[in-house]
């Protein structure tokens, strides 16, 4: 393969990442296009393209993510890891087609044929997932993951299946991925049943994203929910145990009030592990194979590091870079193609290596690397609204959002964007800082809660409220325990059409929000993940209640908004020039945050 390092393969697809060769045939897996290219190994002439689309209905959509490959000893079978489907494709090389699939653990990305040719060893990056986390829900001794780190990888040892077994396993792969059609409700809904039709009830959609909490962490002690009160540190009966004090309060009252007044999903799970991939999922992008493998390896970049695979600055910086660009693009391109005017507040320019320690201006960011920003996003972003920067209170973000929305309305004939994206990040948390108005770690959560309440209150006072839907979720669930699963979080559905006080039971995820947004605007799916996600129609009815939301103050023992304000620096410019108090999702900090009691 040394020669191939210096020769350009013609007609290549996007994100080629693995090679396999038998005789005069060279196979290349293309992660972004869900194909395997076949070349003449000597001339590099392209011979065939093998399509890995699992069913005909998905032919225009991507998400299989082919990665590692292995060949049978006789070269008649090619085994391809389908990272996006949690499966291995079995390809008949003579016919150049998939003849079946082998179900695997979560995100297979390595594979090897045993020396005897009868077994496959399949490495899965995320194994069996995390499961419950917390002192009351330890892993059982019989659990394969007992005693291992939070989410250990796994190697499957699988016997090469005979045709009958392969047929059964192939069906299982389809079922695991929702590729076997299932009945959905047919009753009238705010979500159009016909593709391409816009909702008659909803014209404006707002997506508010926050940081790092599980369902139990915030809602685990609320009656009627499937929660664990002992994990609800930020619940209605939450607690502060810091500096030798113990205070019991409703830590995030606006979250709880919103859940009661509107609707929440309690069976909602996060696709991501941390912010590095979380903010990609939030903009409708399944992380590329490159991102999935590199964001942990590049967590603590050091220019002089001698460790292999560490010479990349990545970590939990969550904005798209060229390696992430998918065939159909992100949410931003999809909205633009669909003619949906949008405005972005705080997402999309937290690139690898970004500094929050210089005089960053209003954006809260000082870029140190020249990464491009997608045109559709650049043209529709408010750069006066800061990205993740713990020097800036979320309540200030709320005020600045309201200011900019008013300016937008004035400059656009009295209209606001049809889609609004808002990032409120301070529930990430960092160390206590009484001088800035944060006497406890929990104060950051209270700041975030109050900001959320004020933003929602403002939106429900707008004339567009009568035809508005607001979705609120997290970027990941890294900070808290949860008795169901470490990946369980929540989505709040806030609208005149929300079912009042309803706790949804449908199995949903971030891509369920994405699918629902597209559906309301009459847009079709943009990739396989949003196409197959369960929509959030369970959380909505057809009878509207136009009562606006009234925010409530947080407990002043934990957070006093006036204490964050410096009369000589009302726009927080001095603070923006300070070093960020915490690296986003720093593993050491998150572990301390979880165990400080």
Residue 504 included in any domain: yes
Residues 157, 209 within the same domain:
no
Residues 160, 208 within the same domain:
no
Any idea what the Cα angle at residue 573 is, between residues 570 and 579, rounded to 5°? 130
User: Which has the closest alpha carbon to 228: 476, 508, 481?
Assistant: 481
3-state class of 593 per DSSP?
helix
Q: Tell me the mean pLDDT per 10 residues along the chain, length 597.
A: 44 82 96 95 94 95 96 97 97 97 96 96 93 91 86 93 98 96 84 92 98 96 96 95 90 97 97 84 88 70 63 69 87 97 91 60 65 91 88 93 97 98 93 91 96 98 98 92 95 98 96 98 96 96 97 96 81 63 59 58
Give the single-character DSSP code of 579: P
495 Cβ neighbours under 8 A, 6+ residues apart: 190, 202, 262, 468, 469, 470, 540
Residues 123, 210 within the same domain:
no
CB crowding 304-313: b at 16 or more within 10 Å, else e: eeeeeebebb
CATH code for position 135? 2.130.10.10
Residues 157, 210 within the same domain:
no
DSSP E strands, 141-262: 154-159, 204-210, 238-242, 245-249
Q: What pLDDT is attached to residue 301?
A: 63
Residues 170, 260 within the same domain:
no
| Tokens matching residue 409 | 């309305």
Which residue's entry shows tokens 């079922």?
175
Tell whether the torsion through CA atoms of 48, 54, 59 and 65 is positive or negative.
negative
Give the single-character DSSP code of 134: S
Residues 392, 279 within the same domain:
yes
Q: What pLDDT is attached to residue 351?
A: 74
Give the chain's domain count.
2
CATH code for position 274? 3.40.720.10
Residues 385, 459 within the same domain:
yes
Q: What pLDDT is attached to residue 4?
A: 39
Q: What pLDDT is attached to residue 1?
A: 32
- pTM score: 0.92
Q: What pLDDT is attached to residue 15?
A: 84
Q: What pLDDT is attached to residue 2?
A: 36
Domain range for 415? 204-215+252-303+316-546+565-595
314 Cβ neighbours under 8 A, 6+ residues apart: 276, 291, 294, 295, 297, 298, 299, 301, 352
Residues 210, 156 within the same domain:
no
Residues 367, 424 within the same domain:
yes
Q: What pLDDT is attached to residue 91?
A: 98
Q: What pLDDT is attached to residue 294?
A: 72
Residues 286, 139 within the same domain:
no
Q: What pLDDT is attached to residue 316?
A: 64
Q: What pLDDT is attached to residue 455?
A: 98
User: Which has the closest alpha carbon to 316: 332, 331, 297, 303?
Assistant: 297
Helix 253-261 vs helix 442-460: angle between axes, to the nearest 10 degrees? 40
Strand partners, 50: 36
| Tokens matching residue 199 | 């909702």
């Amino acid at each position: 393969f040394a020669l191939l390092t210096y020769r350009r393969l013609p007609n290549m697809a996007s994100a080629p990442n693995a090679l396999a060769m038998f005789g005069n045939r060279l196979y290349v897996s293309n992660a972004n296009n869900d194909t395997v290219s076949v070349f003449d190994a000597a001339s590099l002439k392209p011979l065939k393209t093998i399509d890995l689309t699992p069913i005909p209905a998905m032919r225009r959509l991507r998400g299989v993510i082919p990665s590692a490959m292995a060949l049978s000893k006789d070269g008649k079978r090619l085994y391809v890891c389908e990272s996006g489907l949690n499966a291995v494709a079995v390809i008949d090389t003579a016919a150049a087609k998939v003849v079946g699939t082998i179900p695997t653990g979560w995100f297979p990305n390595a594979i090897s044929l045993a020396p005897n040719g009868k077994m496959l060893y399949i490495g899965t990056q995320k194994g069996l997932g995390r499961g419950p986390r917390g002192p009351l829900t330890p892993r059982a001794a019989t659990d394969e993951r007992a005693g291992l780190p939070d989410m250990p990888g796994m190697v499957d040892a699988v016997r090469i299946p005979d045709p009958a077994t392969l047929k059964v396993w192939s069906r299982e792969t389809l079922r695991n991925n929702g590729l076997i059609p299932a009945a959905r409700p047919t009753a009238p809904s705010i979500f159009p049943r016909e593709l391409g039709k816009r909702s008659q009830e909803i014209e404006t959609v707002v997506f508010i994203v926050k940081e790092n909490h599980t369902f139990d962490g915030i809602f685990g002690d609320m009656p009627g929910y499937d929660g664990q009160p002992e994990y609800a540190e930020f619940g209605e009966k939450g607690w502060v145990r810091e500096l030798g004090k113990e205070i019991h309060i409703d830590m995030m009252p606006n979250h709880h009030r919103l859940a009661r007044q509107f609707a929440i999903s309690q069976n909602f799970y996060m696709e991501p592990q941390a912010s590095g991939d979380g903010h990609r999922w939030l903009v409708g992008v399944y992380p590329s194979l490159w991102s999935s493998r590199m964001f942990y390896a590049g967590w603590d970049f050091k220019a002089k590091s001698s460790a292999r695979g560490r010479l990349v600055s990545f970590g939990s910086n969550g904005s798209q870079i060229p390696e992430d660009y998918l065939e159909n693009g992100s949410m931003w391109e999809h909205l633009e193609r669909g003619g949906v005017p949008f405005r972005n507040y705080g997402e999309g320019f937290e690139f690898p290596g970004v500094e929050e320690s210089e005089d960053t201006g209003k954006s809260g960011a000082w870029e140190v690397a020249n990464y491009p920003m997608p045109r559709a996003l650049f043209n529709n972003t408010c750069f006066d609204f800061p990205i993740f920067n713990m020097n800036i209170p979320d309540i200030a973000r709320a005020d600045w959002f309201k200011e900019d929305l008013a300016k937008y309305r004035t400059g656009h004939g009295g209209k606001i964007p049809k889609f609004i994206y808002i990032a409120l990040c301070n529930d990430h948390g960092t160390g206590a800082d009484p001088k800035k108005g944060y006497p406890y770690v929990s104060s950051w959560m209270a700041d975030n809660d109050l900001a959320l309440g004020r933003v929602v209150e403002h939106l429900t006072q707008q004339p567009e409220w009568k035809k508005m839907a607001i979705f609120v979720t997290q970027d990941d669930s890294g900070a808290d325990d949860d008795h169901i699963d470490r990946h369980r979080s929540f989505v709040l559905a806030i609208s005149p059409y929300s079912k009042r006080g309803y706790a949804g039971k449908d199995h949903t995820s971030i891509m369920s929000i994405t699918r629902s947004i597209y559906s309301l605007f009459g847009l079709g799916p943009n990739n396989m993940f949003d196409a197959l996600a369960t929509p959030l129609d369970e959380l909505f009815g057809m009878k509207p209640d136009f009562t606006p939301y009234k925010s409530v103050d947080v407990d002043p023992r934990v957070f006093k908004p006036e204490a964050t304000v410096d009369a000589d620096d009302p726009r927080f410019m001095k603070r923006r020039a300070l070093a960020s108090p915490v690296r986003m999702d720093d593993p050491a900090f998150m572990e301390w945050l979880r165990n400080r009691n």
